[in-house]
Amino acid sequence: MRVLDEALAEEYALVESIAREVLRGYGFREFRTPIVERTELFVRSVGESTDIVGKEMYTFEDRAGRSMTLRPEGTAPVVRAVVERGLRNTRLPLKLFYIGPFFRYERPQKGRYRQFHQIGAELIGDARPEADLEVIQVLVEFLSACGFSGLEVALQTLGDDDSRSRFRAALLGHLEPVRESLSAESQARLASNPLRILDSKADADRAAVADAPSMETFLSESARVHFERLQELLQDAGIAYRVEPGLVRGLDYYTGTVFEISSADLGSQDALVGGGRYDNLVAELGGPPTPAIGFAIGLDRVCEAMPESATSDQPRVAILALSDAAEARAAETARALRRAGLVAELANMTSGVGKSLQLADRRGSGWAVLIGDDELADGLWSVKNLASGEQQSVGDLSALVELIQEGSLKP
Ligand code: HAM
């Protein structure tokens, strides 16, 4: 479990604020579910045969002997909560988003943590390809606002139930005869979830799936029309995508459209974002049949891969009261600068002006505002640029703010 120090925490908060703004702009509203859920919820939704349920959950017994789990993902908890609240009286579509910690017992490495963070969104109650477009569009807009460029959406469809069961049968027909050549993991998956063999990284499996039948040939008419319409919509919206036949995703609740976005900046194949349709999950968790689609962004990965320029700092200012009489005005100035969006800190003057200026510089303040008896008498502020050493006087607060925000001292 990783500590987010003050620099990282600030970066996370900045990215979260970008996400909130973009998601709210599309009509998504924030939702918060418990960190701990009944284990059964994830077993039923994410699926018994998945890595997440099979080997990555933090599961424990509570004092009443119930099996509980730290949430490994957010879709099942959101669906559980909205089903319990009663979906029949809800005006659909429901558009919800969540931001918070999730837990998976994975091997920790760059971009992969046991406590990680997701920004997720769920659009519940809209079966149209336009809903698929909307969630992908929100994602692309968010990632662009974070400074990413040149991203491509990897896209696939798992078809409807009928398409999927026919594809599954054909895939088994292809893989059973070569069962012995498959990795041990894939041999086990033949019985539980043969589609996952398609995205296995093991060489033995890659050879076996190279000439496997493709999903495309098994799509029902309606699944094919949906997928083709989504691609038209993406083209019209100018969103770059590629159809990726091996994309199956590691959670069992998916149906139809699935997608991922990766970034070369991460230096691995790990996805920044994953999502897709889960048209059966609401009914499986006890609600009325309701189509849905969503995604989750790996916040840790976004922060790691994000271009530097997007993580801009607010200007920092140290305020120095050069006499006791100046303290009240120094405090008042600090408050005014903070209201204007700057970071303002009152300097500790016990070691003298020189030391205070040095310390302010080391703490990352670009500026110092000095207020002594002369400034009090004349109603002025002296401002010093700590990088260049230049100093000047200004006569009103708005000029002071402007000077610091613009970052240059005028002659
Ligand atoms: P997921 O693909 O399992 O999907 O996770 C989404 C994203 O969370 C991944 O692309 C990755 O960026 C991040 N992530 C996952 N595990 C870790 C980890 N151990 N460390 C760091 N980042 C990680 C879901 O969770 C689905 N609930 C998404 C969804 C929402 N589908 C429909 N609605």
Pairing between strand 292-298 and 115-124? antiparallel
CB neighbour list of residue 97: distance below 8 Å, 6 or more residues apart? 19, 20, 23, 28, 29, 30, 31, 119, 120, 121, 122
Question: Are 5 and 103 contacting, i.e. CB atoms less than 8 angstroms apart?
Answer: no
Helices 161-175 and 184-192, packing angle to 10 deg: 140
- Spacing, Cα 3 to ligand 1 middle (Å): 20
Q: Which atom of ligand 1 is nearest to the CA of 275?
A: 31
Question: Are 296 and 128 contacting, i.e. CB atoms less than 8 angstroms apart?
Answer: no
Residues touching ligand 1 (Cβ under 6 Å) are 73-75, 104, 106, 111-113, 116, 118, 120, 122, 250-251, 271-276, 278, 294-296, 298, 300-301
Helices 129-145 and 6-25, packing angle to 10 deg: 140
- Spacing, Cα 112 to ligand 1 middle (Å): 10
User: Ligand 1: which of 118, 260, 272 to mutate, judged by most atoms within 8 Å of the beta carbon?
Assistant: 118
Question: Are 136 and 143 contacting, i.e. CB atoms less than 8 angstroms apart?
Answer: no
The predicted structure's pLDDT at residue 201: 83
Confidence of residue 196 (pLDDT cuts 50, 70, 90): confident
User: Ligand 1: which of 73, 132, 263 to mutate, judged by most atoms within 8 Å of the beta carbon?
Assistant: 73
Virtual CA dihedral for 87, 91, 92, 98, nearest 10 degrees?
Answer: -70
Residue nearest to atom 33 of ligand 1 (CA): 294
- Spacing, Cα 397 to ligand 1 middle (Å): 47
Based on its alpha-carbon atoms, the radius of gyration of the chain, rounded to whole angstroms, reads 27
Q: Which atom of ligand 1 is nearest to the CA of 72?
A: 25
What does the pLDDT look like over 143-161, one tens digit per residue? Answer: 999 988 888 999 999 999 9
The predicted structure's pLDDT at residue 310: 57
What does the pLDDT look like over 73-84, one tens digit per residue? Answer: 999 999 999 999
SS3 label, residue 115: strand
Residue nearest to atom 18 of ligand 1 (CA): 112
Q: Does 183 score more than 80 pLDDT?
A: yes
CB neighbour list of residue 134: distance below 8 Å, 6 or more residues apart? 26, 123
The predicted structure's pLDDT at residue 376: 96
Q: Which atom of ligand 1 is nearest to the CA of 278?
A: 32
Which two tokens mark 341?
């969006």
- Spacing, Cα 218 to ligand 1 middle (Å): 28
- Spacing, Cα 407 to ligand 1 middle (Å): 40
Q: Does 311 score more than 90 pLDDT?
A: no
Which two tokens mark 20?
């909130």
SS3 label, residue 30: strand
Q: Which atom of ligand 1 is nearest to the CA of 106?
A: 19
The predicted structure's pLDDT at residue 406: 84
The predicted structure's pLDDT at residue 262: 86
Say how far apart CA 316 and CA 318 lie, in whole Å.
7
Say how far apart CA 333 and CA 345 lie, in whole Å.
10
- Spacing, Cα 270 to ligand 1 middle (Å): 10
Q: Which atom of ligand 1 is nearest to the CA of 111?
A: 21
Q: Does 411 score more than 50 pLDDT?
A: no
Say how far apart CA 22 and CA 295 lie, in whole Å.
14
Say how far apart CA 345 and CA 39 lie, in whole Å.
47
Question: Are 410 and 389 contacting, i.e. CB atoms less than 8 angstroms apart?
Answer: no
| Mean pLDDT (whole number) for 315-328 | 95
Say how far apart CA 168 and CA 403 lie, in whole Å.
66
Say how far apart CA 265 and CA 268 lie, in whole Å.
8
Residue nearest to atom 12 of ligand 1 (CA): 298
- Spacing, Cα 8 to ligand 1 middle (Å): 20
Say how far apart CA 243 and CA 228 lie, in whole Å.
11
Whole-Å CA distances, 373 to 326, 329, 351, 389, 390 = 7, 11, 19, 21, 20
Q: Could you check whether the bond before residue 288 is cis, i.e. omega within 30 degrees of 0?
A: no
| Mean pLDDT (whole number) for 180-184 | 92
Which residues, listed in sequence order, are joined to residue 38 by a DSSP beta bridge? 68
User: Ligand 1: which of 31, 151, 299, 301 to mutate, judged by most atoms within 8 Å of the beta carbon?
Assistant: 301
Q: What is the mean pLDDT of the chain?
A: 93
Smallest CA-to-CA distance from 360 within 325, 319, 397 is with 319
Per DSSP, 265 falls in state G
CB neighbour list of residue 230: distance below 8 Å, 6 or more residues apart? 129, 132, 133, 155, 257
Q: Does 362 score more than 80 pLDDT?
A: yes
| Mean pLDDT (whole number) for 351-364 | 92
- Spacing, Cα 104 to ligand 1 middle (Å): 10
The predicted structure's pLDDT at residue 88: 79
Distance from the first to the final alpha carbon of the chain:
51
Confidence of residue 408 (pLDDT cuts 50, 70, 90): low
Whole-Å CA distances, 279 to 101, 105, 231, 276, 317 = 25, 28, 19, 10, 53
What does the pLDDT look like over 58-78, one tens digit per residue? Answer: 999 999 999 999 999 999 999
What does the pLDDT look like over 90-141, one tens digit per residue? Answer: 899 999 999 999 999 999 888 899 999 999 999 999 999 999 999 999 999 9
Q: Does 268 score more than 70 pLDDT?
A: no
- Spacing, Cα 214 to ligand 1 middle (Å): 25
What does the pLDDT look like over 37-55, one tens digit per residue? Answer: 999 999 999 999 899 999 9
Whole-Å CA distances, 130 to 119, 281, 290, 297 = 21, 20, 16, 20
- Looking at the chain, the number of H-run helices and the number of E-run strands are 15, 16
- Spacing, Cα 298 to ligand 1 middle (Å): 6
- Spacing, Cα 101 to ligand 1 middle (Å): 11
